[in-house]
């Protein structure tokens, strides 16, 4: 039996299937993987540009570098891989997605049950009063030269709803991890499985399907491994699952 049929068998026969996605699923949408040294990452180190220290202590640098990345993500569109996962959820064959990505593309593709363990770029919040606002509020303030942008309600500092390097993990991480307690199969898409604590999550499940261009530390433990383009593989999996319904 080939890898495609093995993967489809696992998905169709499992009681509960989840996906774990990383930067690799979004490269077909024009978003560079920050380990690839392409795009804006040729000019900056994302671990500094998107760090909590830079945001809080050097806002003038953050809004020249890290903020540019966040702003760019809002303009991207989901690709066939995101759409295939959304369709699998719609068919009842995927119960949800845990994503390391902050690009909002799973939501744009139509996925409903999403755990964003590194935050998102749809919104911002005030660090003093906690009030939430849309990302456009920050965009207008930054374009007007208000650095750092301030809350109109209390005067506190606004920040993106993104988990910066140096931040604590959000509630979505714990909630997503609990979902895996009774998950049979995890489909890992576009993740190197090298970033802690997300790289512990595959240990929670009995069966693993890995779709990633490069080898991961979990390849030897996985039931099926694809070192191929994720949009192509997920589209093929969706087509085969639809034939079985």
- 129 is annotated as contributing to ligand binding: yes
Cα separation, 56 vs 195, whole angstroms: 23
Cα separation, 115 vs 233, whole angstroms: 22
The H or E element that residue 49 is part of is: helix 46-49
DSSP state of 224: E
Chain centre to alpha carbon of residue 9: 26
The H or E element that residue 86 is part of is: helix 80-90
- 115 is annotated as contributing to ligand binding: no
Whether residue 200 has a cis bond before it, omega within 30° of 0: no
Cα separation, 125 vs 228, whole angstroms: 38
Cα separation, 204 vs 70, whole angstroms: 31
Active site annotation includes 207 = no
Catalytic residue among 106, 118, 131, 207: 118
- 94 is annotated as contributing to ligand binding: no
In the annotated binding site, the residues are 126, 129, 151, 154
Catalytic residues: 118
In the annotated binding site for Zn(2+), the residues are 126, 129, 151, 154
């Amino acid at each position: 039996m080939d890898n495609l049929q093995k993967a489809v068998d696992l998905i169709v026969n499992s009681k509960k299937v989840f996906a774990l996605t990383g930067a690799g699923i979004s490269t077909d949408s024009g978003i560079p993987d920050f380990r690839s040294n392409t795009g804006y990452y040729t000019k900056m180190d994302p671990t500094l540009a998107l760090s909590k220290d830079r945001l809080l202590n050097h806002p003038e640098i953050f809004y020249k570098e890290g903020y540019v990345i966040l702003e760019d993500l809002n303009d991207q569109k989901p690709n066939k891989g995101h759409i295939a996962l959304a369709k699998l959820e719609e068919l009842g064959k995927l119960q949800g997605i845990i994503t390391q990505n902050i690009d909002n593309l799973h939501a744009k593709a139509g996925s409903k049950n999403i755990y964003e363990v590194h935050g998102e770029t749809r919104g911002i919040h005030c660090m003093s009063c906690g009030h939430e606002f849309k990302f456009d509020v920050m965009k207008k303030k930054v374009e007007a030269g208000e650095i750092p942008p301030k809350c109109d309600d209390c005067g506190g500092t606004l920040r993106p709803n993104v988990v910066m390097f140096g931040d604590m993990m959000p509630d979505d991480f714990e909630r997503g991890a609990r979902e895996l307690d009774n998950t049979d199969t995890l489909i890992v898409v576009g993740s190197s499985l090298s970033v802690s604590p997300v790289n512990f999550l595959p240990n929670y499940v009995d069966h693993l399907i890995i779709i990633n261009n490069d080898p991961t530390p979990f390849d030897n433990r996985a039931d099926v491994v694809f070192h191929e383009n994720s949009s192509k593989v997920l589209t093929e999996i969706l087509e085969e699952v639809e034939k079985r319904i």
